Amino acid sequence: MTSSRIWTAALVVIGDEILSGRTQDKNVAQLASWLNVQGIRLAEVRVVPDVEEKIVAAVNALRSANDYLFTTGGIGPTHDDITVDAIAAALGVGVIVHPEARAILERHYETRGGLTDARLRMARVPKGADLIPNRMSGAPGIRIGNLFILAGVPHIAAGMLDALTGALEGGRPLVSETVGAYVPESEVAETLAALEKATPGISIGSYPFFREGRIGANFVIRSEDPGLASAAAGTLGDRLRELGREPVAGGIQ
């Protein structure tokens, strides 16, 4: 088969709470899984603090190197929410109050104490931006060019991704087949390398684990071609059996 063009995305996670260890990030895995289905590969992630120059540097480095750039975090109403200003600075555009975002927030806060100055901050967008619907809470996400500004709270970010499903051009989805075995990965290292080399269009990752005193590994075969991935998984299973190790289709959890 001919391989299709590879579409890539990067993610900038904005937040002191991730870098301080207070909060366990969940947006990397969530975005990666969603991108796979869209036929887009997550090529790089940077986690930066709530500091404008750091956000600007990461955004500018990654937006030109990838088809798409996502950010999570820093779009709330408080003083530490500086994502919109930082991205506007990165793009060299001004910040405006988006009329539709303002209307959304007015409706949302109508029965919740009204649209205060702090809340109106969440209607601010880089000039030229469109909104990404947010069904979970009032404040929308923001799209400007190939840049997607999402909330940091994972379930709100998930809702925004849901609203974007199918809207981004991508290639063929990357599929994966996992085969697990109770085997030290060093024992199958040559087998894996040989199989990957012999099968253009696949890559194999080897992920060791330790469960209740037993050593094993899961082998993940990734490809844009489901048939190729499946065939390689079958071959790997045969090789493991030849080594006297029972393969577990789907991997060992």
By CB under 8 A, tell whether 25 contacts its own copies: yes
Q: Which is nearer to its own copies, 60 or 203 (CB)?
A: 203
Q: Alpha helices, DSSP H only, in the chain?
A: 16-19, 27-38, 52-63, 83-91, 99-109, 117-120, 154-164, 185-198, 226-242
By CB under 8 A, tell whether 124 contacts its own copies: no
Q: Which of 6, 19, 93, 95 binds its own copies (CB under 8 A)?
A: 19
Phi-psi region of 68 (alpha: psi -120 to 50; beta: other; left: phi over 0): beta
By CB under 8 A, tell whether 225 contacts its own copies: no
Q: Which of 14, 18, 150, 181 binds its own copies (CB under 8 A)?
A: 18
Q: Which is nearer to its own copies, 144 or 202 (CB)?
A: 202
By CB under 8 A, tell whether 55 contacts its own copies: no
By CB under 8 A, tell whether 40 contacts its own copies: no
By CB under 8 A, tell whether 36 contacts its own copies: yes
Q: Which is nearer to its own copies, 137 or 230 (CB)?
A: 137
How far is residue 197's CA from residue 203's CA, in Å, rounded to a whole number? Answer: 9
Q: Long-range pairs for 162-166 at CB < 8 Å and ≥24 separation?
A: 162/135, 163/132, 163/133, 163/134, 163/135, 164/132, 165/34, 165/37, 165/38, 166/38
By CB under 8 A, tell whether 244 contacts its own copies: no
Cβ atoms within 10 Å of 42's Cβ, excluding its own = 21
| Subset of residues 152 to 211 that bind its own copies, contact rule: CB under 8 A | 153, 155, 174, 176, 184-190, 192-193, 196, 203-210
Q: How far is the CB of 128 from its own copies (least distance, A)?
A: 25
DSSP 113: T
